[in-house]
Structure 1
Amino acid sequence: MVRTLEQAQLTELARGFSLLGSGGGGSTDLLELMIADAPLWPIDLYAPDDLDPDTPCLAAAYVGSTYLLTERIPDLDPFVSLIAAAERWTGVRAEAVCSLEAAGMNGLTPLLLAADRRIVDADFMGRALPRVDQVSLFADRVPGTVTVCSSGADGIVLVATDRAADVEHVVRSAVVQAGGVGPLVIAGFTVGELREHAILGNHSRALELGAAFEAAATAPLSELAVRLGGRMLGTGRVTGVEASPTDPHASTIEISDDRGEIFRIIGRSEFLAFMRNGVVEAATPEIIVTIDSISRDVLLVDGVTFSRHVAVIALPAPAWWMSTPERLRHVAPAAFGLDGLVPAA
């Protein structure tokens, strides 16, 4: 069924995507400013079943360090040249667009294209994930895809392969060349293929999460966890943030509560695991959310700082990744080089 998004729902939608980011995905602030007053509203949100399955589709996102976008404001139409290159390659116009990851700022990114393309309620991650090779299309080795990204100075890189590692390596190199962040488009698939190879309904889920979050603005944190459909992992004060001696991108956040229990969150660009007194209680692809206990801000990984009082909530993992062992291996802790972080039964 087609759902209509109203401009007044943007804040709730963005809040929901922040929750689905699991501490990553980038702040939604910039995209909210870009979209809020754009002549796009209201926006129709289509389920894949609402459209002809043969409708060509594309996914749009920003990749790299989204923090750099606060220093180098993107163009108003950052995807135009990339889409043109993808459509020249495929030979068809993509009439629909979905999210690469329906989390953080990239949950909102497809709305930039709402003026001339239909927005499909589907994405390829179901939460924030750091690597292009973790796209569900590539996990299922869907043939015929083409990935296009910026290499800076109006340069474009196009990768036509379903080998996920190749796409990740080439895109990562191009993003570095472009200055650390840039737009990316994946095309060469249809709306019908989303039904099997994508995570469905996360825009709707984000809207529901955002509404529940706002409704529980003054409720106890334990009630907030319940309203979000999650479980409370713990609350306390951050007593330490330690960088990994073996992985420059990983850190361990230590939290102490008033009962003497010790919690640890393992994070990279997203929160990946939560431990209580050395026992793993939650791990990716579960969505681990950390909230400032006082301000109720949804925190990115680098926002969990010394002495901050926080609450940690686990939201259910996207069912798509849990459906087969082959899919799960792409997003389990071992996929990030973190062995042994399997939640206790």
Structure 2
Amino acid sequence: MRITAGDVPALERGAALLGSGGGGDTATAAVLLRRQLERGHEPLVRPVASLPPAARVVPVGVVGATAAFTEKLPGGDEFAAAVAAVERWTGERADAVMSIEIGGLNGLMPLVVALELGRAYVDADLSGRGLPRLDQLAVAATGRGIAPAALAEPGGQVMLLATGSDAMVERGARAFVASSGGWAAFALAPIPAGELAACSVPGTTSAALALGRRVLALGESPARDRLEAALEGSVLARGRVLEVARHVGRSSPGFGRGSLTLADHADGSLLRLEMENEYLLALRDGAPVASTPDVLSVLDHRTGVPVTCDAIRAGVEVDVVRLAAAPFWTDPRRLPVLHPRAYGIDCDPVGVG
């Protein structure tokens, strides 16, 4: 499959939906991808099964404050530097790249990287949705580990995290981006294609593209049943946001905790969403009705555009929707990684497994 200019809006919409309110703004990455496509470059998206088992695949993505990415644009060398660093350290050349995260900005940016590096792009990622921390990636959830990994920031600094636990790599990467402009290009060590099935979520780029196409085909203000059919999910509530509360100092460094409340036009019930960098838990009149690892998204009711956690405001008419989690995350061995309690929320997962 090749991504063309006509695919970009749908891919952008699908990635934004899968961001679950996080993952960063897709607009800048979409502009960069369109520029590559205008030059006649079309990324080849290959299924994992089509690669030789010995082919080496490097997961890449943007880490840090994704809002800073739109203010401090990449110079063009950051990803090449990060990939080169892990190639030198491991002694293995990357045959292809993949995304660390399909949700949000990283649903598109790795396609740009594949074109810049002249490598194939693999239809898989390490998240299946938007995730806030590196130690939640699929390679961490399966015990494979994150290290070695490399980061390169716009100022030219490159850091390689050679060893350490997943939590140590997460802390080291966060400290690096905090002191170097807010974001960095990130690359993991090459993974043999034959091992990807066990430590990644397959088919996520093609799935995001299909999801975006279905949703865009609805037009503005679609009927509830048509929206649910396009999402292959459910609409939890439709209504006006009454309140948005942000709680400073109640979360881990680099993450903001908050909640929003809306009145459902259908029955007058109150739906509250608990959020950190992503929407995590939905409660109707105080009773949990949906939670992570399922994908919770908030859509502008008229346009259908996903509204991120940092952009949601009182007074907006929205649809709150739920999309089923990738089967990877419903496995009991991996569910604790995205369990509400992994975010400090004392609640069991709702509607999962």
TM-score (norm 2): 0.92
Q: Name the CA distance, whole Å, in 2 between partners of 1:17 and 1:143.
A: 25
**What is the correspondence of 1:1-345 to structure 2 with a 5 Å cutoff?**
3-38=1-36, 39=39, 41-115=41-115, 116-142=118-144, 145-150=147-152, 153-161=155-163, 163-218=165-220, 219-244=222-247, 247-248=250-251, 249-258=256-265, 259-323=267-331, 325-343=332-350
Q: Secondary structure at the match of 1:79?
A: helix
Q: Name the CA distance, whole Å, in 2 between partners of 1:97 and 1:344.
A: 34
Q: Name the CA distance, whole Å, in 2 between partners of 1:290 and 1:134.
A: 23
Q: Name the CA distance, whole Å, in 1 between partners of 2:124 and 2:322.
A: 22
Structure 1 stretches of 4+ with a deviation exceeding 3 A read none
User: How far off is 1:153 after superposition?
Assistant: 3.4
Question: Counterpart of 1:315 in structure 2: which amino acid?
Answer: L
User: How far off is 1:144 after superposition?
Assistant: 8.3
Q: Name the CA distance, whole Å, in 1 between partners of 2:263 and 2:48.
A: 45
User: How far off is 1:326 after superposition?
Assistant: 2.7
Higher deviation after alignment, 285-294 or 148-157: 148-157
User: How far off is 1:121 after superposition?
Assistant: 0.5
Q: Name the CA distance, whole Å, in 1 between partners of 2:178 and 2:338.
A: 24
Q: Classify 1:94/1:40 alpha carbon distance in 2 versus 1 (closer, same or farther; 3 Å).
A: farther
Q: Name the CA distance, whole Å, in 2 between partners of 1:317 and 1:47.
A: 20
Question: Counterpart of 2:306 in structure 1: which amino acid?
Answer: V
Q: Secondary structure at the match of 1:170?
A: helix
User: How far off is 1:162 after superposition?
Assistant: 6.2
Q: Secondary structure at the match of 1:301?
A: coil
User: How far off is 1:191 after superposition?
Assistant: 1.4
Q: Classify 1:217/1:152 alpha carbon distance in 2 versus 1 (closer, same or farther; 3 Å).
A: closer
Q: Name the CA distance, whole Å, in 2 between partners of 1:70 and 1:114.
A: 20
Q: Secondary structure at the match of 2:310?
A: helix
User: How far off is 1:28 after superposition?
Assistant: 0.8
Q: Classify 1:120/1:307 alpha carbon distance in 2 versus 1 (closer, same or farther; 3 Å).
A: same
Q: Is the 8 A contact 2:247 2:258 kept in 1?
A: yes
Q: Classify 1:110/1:246 alpha carbon distance in 2 versus 1 (closer, same or farther; 3 Å).
A: closer
Q: Secondary structure at the match of 2:194?
A: helix
Q: Secondary structure at the match of 1:59?
A: strand
Q: Is the 8 A contact 2:147 2:166 kept in 1?
A: no
Q: Name the CA distance, whole Å, in 1 between partners of 2:248 and 2:137.
A: 29
Q: Name the CA distance, whole Å, in 1 between partners of 2:182 and 2:245.
A: 25
Higher deviation after alignment, 151-160 or 303-312: 151-160
Q: Classify 1:62/1:123 alpha carbon distance in 2 versus 1 (closer, same or farther; 3 Å).
A: same
Q: Is the 8 A contact 1:235 1:311 kept in 2?
A: yes
Question: Counterpart of 1:266 in structure 2: which amino acid?
Answer: E
User: How far off is 1:279 after superposition?
Assistant: 1.0
Q: Secondary structure at the match of 1:43?
A: coil
Q: Is the 8 A contact 1:143 1:161 kept in 2?
A: no
Q: Secondary structure at the match of 2:58?
A: strand
Q: Name the CA distance, whole Å, in 2 between partners of 1:205 and 1:320.
A: 15
Q: Name the CA distance, whole Å, in 2 between partners of 1:155 and 1:234.
A: 46
Q: Is the 8 A contact 2:280 2:340 kept in 1?
A: yes
Q: Name the CA distance, whole Å, in 1 between partners of 2:289 and 2:88.
A: 48
Question: Counterpart of 2:34 in structure 1: which amino acid?
Answer: A
Higher deviation after alignment, 187-196 or 11-20: 187-196
Q: Name the CA distance, whole Å, in 1 between partners of 2:325 and 2:167.
A: 24
Could you report, residue by residue, the CA deviation over 1:168-213 in whole angstroms, capped at 9, with x for unpaired residues?
1111111111122111111232111111110001101101101001
User: How far off is 1:302 after superposition?
Assistant: 1.9
Structure 2, unpaired ranges of 5+? none
> What is the RMSD of the two structures over their aligned residues, measured on CA atoms?
1.7
TM-score (norm 1): 0.94
Could you report, residue by residue, the CA deviation over 1:43-68 in whole angstroms, capped at 9, with x for unpaired residues?
22111110101111101111111111
